Amino acid sequence: MSAHNRGTELDLSWISKIQVNHPAVLRRAEQIQARRTVKKEWQAAWLLKAVTFIDLTTLSGDDTSSNIQRLCYKAKYPIREDLLKALNMYDKGITTAAVCVYPARVCDAVKALKAAGCNIPVASVATGFPAGQTHLKTRLEEIRLAVEDGATEIDVVINRSLVLTGQWEALYDEIRQFRKACGEAHLKTILATGELGSLTNVYKASMIAMMAGSDFIKTSTGKETVNATFPVAIVMLRAIRDFFWKTGNKIGFKPAGGIRSAKDSLAWLSLVKEELGNEWLKPELFRIGASTLLSDIERQIYHHVTGRYAAYHDLPMS
């Protein structure tokens, strides 16, 4: 992953001037959703690229060491060997971008990936995921423990009440502490945009998170009623662009929650390409948080190679 974002001083004058043109954002979102997708070999190529952006995720109450092991194996071998050979892509080192688990499962993931002989990063959610409503001391300790266990990326959740009540300085200070607790691990800040009340709040929270030192900003936990949507993404991507223009720092973007189909993934890649450019289309600056998306991508690639659709049991998680 790219170098850390060291953050900037808090600029409340910038935050106070922000207003989002809601109708314009919705029009732009409709354009993205109405667009025809690429076909045939171009689609296969873009889908293989999408695989390399996936943070392959399991965040279930019934996670065990064995299903973490299977997840890690799938992260290393995301597409069936015979399909990659048919596309002449078998030796290209295609893996998912990371494996994302709960803090208590970081050790299992690190062990499984080491046994598989690969260096895919382990990402851990933290800070009272998904609500972010535990004591700050507990949230910081959770980050430190996950890093000690081997997580190299930490997906933190913000306290949404700080956004809803306009406590921007408190939000900045909290994320700065998250940044410090991460040490050398990369900080990915989940805004839980479905609970922030307005697109203007989404932009402001995005900007505060970047000023405070976030390496990525992420739409959702996947546990909210409303998760990754195109209007929210457009606002976040333009905040990333504005921050880059002002500071020269490139911040990553991660949509998560509800991205389940191969067609959806192509729309997200297209949006990032158009809003930020090809420079952001690499795992260092773009991720997709997903648990079931990979299955549909593999199914579409199977169809491209064989001319027929596989049943899901033909393409298991491992």
Which of the residues are catalytic?
218, 254
Structure tokens at 172: 């900045």
E strand intervals along 134-260: 153-157, 186-190, 216-218, 252-254
At 17, is the secondary structure helix, strand, or coil? coil
Structure tokens at 140: 């910081």
**Which among 126, 173, 120 is positioned nearest to 147, based on CA atoms?**
126
CA–CA distance, 218 with 281 (Å, rounded to integer) = 16
With vertex at residue 303, the alpha carbon angle to CA 284 and CA 89, rounded to the nearest 5 degrees, is 45
> Is there a contact between 237 and 275 (Cβ–Cβ < 8 Å)?
yes
Structure tokens at 11: 């600029």
